[in-house]
Amino acid sequence: MTQGGGLFVPGMLVVAPSQPGWGLGQVQSSTGHKVSVNFENAGKRVINVTIIDLSPALEE
């Protein structure tokens, strides 16, 4: 299920299940449905969470 951008806070670790190659990401900012995330394998991406799902990363 797609989450609104307000549920993501700076510093939060996330993954994009539809883009597993991006790896683990850290939220940089969140405004409305746009979330700026710095991914370990894809660099900075601005994600529209109405189009691409983001999920909190599970602690291992």
- DSSP letters for 18-49: T-GGG--EEEEEEETTEEEEEETTTEEEEEET
pTM check: above 0.75:
yes
pLDDT digits (tens, 9 = 90+) for 3-39: 455 589 999 999 999 999 999 999 999 999 999 999 9
| pLDDT at residue 45 greater than cutoff 70 | yes
pLDDT in the model for residue 33:
93
What is the predicted pLDDT for the residue at 20? 94
Query: What is the distance between the alpha carbons of residues 55 and 42, in angstroms, rounded to a whole number?
Result: 16
Rounded Cα distance, 60 and 43, in Å: 22
Query: What pairs with residue 56 in β-bridges?
Result: 14
Q: What is the pLDDT of residue 41?
A: 97
Which pLDDT belongs to residue 15? 97
Instruction: State whether residue 6 is helix, strand or coil.
Output: helix
